[in-house]
Structures are given as structure tokens and as C-alpha cells.
Structure 1
Amino acid sequence: MSVYRKYADHILLNLLKEDDQLAYTEIFERYSRLLVNHAYKMIGNQDESNDVVQEVFLFIWNKRHELEITGSLSSYLYKATKNKILNHIAHEKVVSRYADSISNFIESDYVFADSKLREKELEAIIESEIALLPEKMREVFLLRKVEELSYDEIALQLNITDKTAKQQVYNSLKILRGKLKSALNVFIW
């Protein structure tokens, strides 16, 4: 049995300040399990609880010469552990928010890029299907849908009746809908 087990906390602290590693070991053995249990109640994760307590004890060893503990050592250790846990939780929230932000950016950027790509592909399909329409039908369709001319204007320009212009647009839309229906199904999925 180590003689250090008999020492009071304030004696162990004085020895610790004099670089006594056995005093440090005794403080660790005396309080580490209690602090890990305390941390576990707050965090709910054994590994993270162990890490937090290890950080507290590492801090104590690294700052042993500057430590000024006015109350009891146990109170100091519990407060230090609680503060480390709160810092840990705050850090986890920041990391989580950052990860969510990056994830949302990547997803929205991907969706935007994906939708732009699909839009271009769909435009190319529509253009190729329009190009396959019979020549007069294609001409009437483009004047109506691209140039946005009225049926009367189309009739005057092409020397046809407005009724013929309407019929040509109707027929071209019917053909295009049939051909594009299967292409649109692919784009939806």
C-alpha cells in the first residue's frame, strides 16, 4: 500500500507542484473513476467521458506549477470536468452545424448542377425532336412557340390560313408530347 493514499488532498497538491509524479498518480487514482462516471451521466458516451477526464488530468499535470485551488480538490476537479464537458458539447454542436452546412451546400450545389445538366439534356432532346418534324410543320411550330407570332401573323407570313397554322401547331405538339413522354419519365427518375 502506497504511503500517498494516506495523504490529504492539499498535501498531494503541494507535492504535485514539486513535480512529484506519485502524488499525481494518487490524485488520478483517487478521482478518475468518479469523474468518468460524472462525465458519463452528462455525455452518455464512455469513450468521450474517458477522453474528457484525461484532458482534465493532462491540464492539471501541465499547469501543476500555476495551479491555485482555493476550495477542495474534489470540487475543483468536478468543476473542471463539467467545464470540459460543456466545451466538448459546444464544440460538437459547432462541428455538427459546420458539417450540416457543408452537407447542405454540397447537396444544393449538386441538385443545382444536376438540374442544370438535366435541363440542358432535355433542351437538346426537344430540339432534336423538333428538327425531326416535317418541314412545314416545324416552320409553323417555331414561328408560334419560339418567335411567339400569332396565328394570323403566321398565316400572312407563310401564305396559309390561320386555321391551317393552328392545326400544324396542334399536330406538332401532339407528335412532340408522344415522343417526349418517355424522355420525361427518364428525367423524373
Structure 2
Amino acid sequence: MLQLDKLNADENNSLLEQLVIGNEDAFNQIYYQTNKNIYNAVMAYVKNKHIAMELVQQVYIKLWNNREKLKNVRSLKDYLFIVAKNLTLDHFKKVTLETTFFGELSLRENEPVSTIDEKIEQIEYDKLLMNAVGQLPPQQREAWLLINEQELSYAEIAIKMNISKLTVKRHLELSRKSVRDYLKSHIYTVITLPFLSILIIFFS
């Protein structure tokens, strides 16, 4: 089996030409000849085989979806490594944003808001949280509000809602998951961080 760095120019051009017109055999050949090197490059930085496999899969999905735009690509090797590099950087950026965001959630309610930027961010966060709670099913929303705004106990909520404490617990588990997922999917509307600066010599 050929390795990525052994693809000669003629084969590179031939495969690209066939890929551009949607030839699945050409795509499969490119994949089997190059995926090992792309995986090793990504794995060198993410250090997690499952994440690396997912990113490699995204590389080839992007390759196939953008096949009609590859007419002017001169080097298949360079193109694949650039796509892999960009996807890896995006992965690290997303992880950094999520880690920063959720690491601050527990501090927001008790920390004083001092600067104008922090006040604006707090307002946007409050709006986002309100939207997240608003999209919950009625009983989950009621349980969420009773425990987070009125600070009632499970027993008090059970009496107020006329349900068992076990059902209260289930409503709260589901509501917390839904709110967390909502905040996670809208994270970029609250936090804006500089693009993660990572020097990846392997890709250069």
C-alpha cells in the first residue's frame, strides 16, 4: 500500500481529477493510501484515538463534500494536511472555550460583576440561561425554577407539584442536562476568546 509521501505527481493528479467528477473509487483509493499518515499526524496532538479517528473522518468528509472545488489543488498531500490541521485547531479551540465557560458557571452567581465587559457578559449569560430554561417541558421547567429560584427542597417540590421525590429528582436530572446542552450549543454567543494559538510543526 502506498504511503502519503510516496504519491507521485501523476497519480496525485489522476486521483484528483477523478475525485472532482465524483468517482467513488478514486476517493476510496485516496482514503486507503493516506488515512494512516493523517491519523498519525492528528494523534500526535490530540493524544486520544477516538478523537483522532473522529477528526480523520471529518477530513475525508470535507474532502468529498468539497471535491468539485479541488480542480486547482496541486498537492493532495498538502491539501489533506491543511484540512487536518484546521480541524485539529478547531477542536482545541472548542475544548478551550467549553472548559473556560463551564469552569466559570459555578462562580458567576456569587462573584461581583465589576467591569463593563463583565456586566455585558453577565447579561448575555442570563438571557441565554433564561432561554435554556424556557425551552424545557413544563414540569421540568417548574422543578428547575422551584429549586434554583425558590430554593425549595426535593420534599417541598414534591408536595408543591403533587409528585414523588423520585419524580422530582428525575425532572431535575433531565432539566439540568437539557440546560447544559443548550448552553453548550450556544457557547459562542456568550464567550469570545482569541483564536487558540498552537504551533503544529508536524503539519508544516
| Structure 1 unaligned regions, length at least 5 | 109-116, 118-189
Sequence identity percentage:
23
Alignment deviations for residues 109-128 of structure 1 (CA, whole Å, 9 cap, x no partner): xxxxxxxx9xxxxxxxxxxx
- How do 1:143-162 and structure 2 match up within 5 A? none
Name the structure, 1 or 2, with higher relative contact order (CA <8 Å, separation 6+): 2
Q: Look up the SS of the partner of 1:19 in the other structure.
A: coil
Cα RMSD after superposing both structures: 2.7
Alignment equivalent of 1:101, drawn from 101, 104, 120: 104
Alignment match, 1:42: 45
- How do 1:85-96 and structure 2 match up within 5 A? 85-96=88-99
Structure 2 distance, partners of 1:97, 1:53, is 26
1:30 maps to 2:33: yes
Alignment deviations for residues 52-83 of structure 1 (CA, whole Å, 9 cap, x no partner): 11111101111111224533111111111011
Q: Look up the SS of the partner of 2:57 in the other structure.
A: helix
Which structure is higher in helix share?
A: 1
1:11 CA drift (Å): 0.6
How many aligned residue pairs are there? 107
Aligned partners of 2:20 and 2:71 also within 8 Å: no
Alignment deviations for residues 93-114 of structure 1 (CA, whole Å, 9 cap, x no partner): 0111111122333686xxxxxx
Question: TM-score if structure 2 supplies the norm length?
Answer: 0.47
Structure 2 distance, partners of 1:41, 1:97, is 24
Alignment match, 1:74: 77
Alignment match, 2:119: none
Alignment deviations for residues 11-48 of structure 1 (CA, whole Å, 9 cap, x no partner): 11110111110100011111111101110001111111
Question: TM-score if structure 1 supplies the norm length?
Answer: 0.51
Question: Which one-letter code corresponds to 1:13 in the other structure?
Answer: L
Aligned partners of 1:15 and 1:23 also within 8 Å: yes
Higher-Rg member (1/2): 1
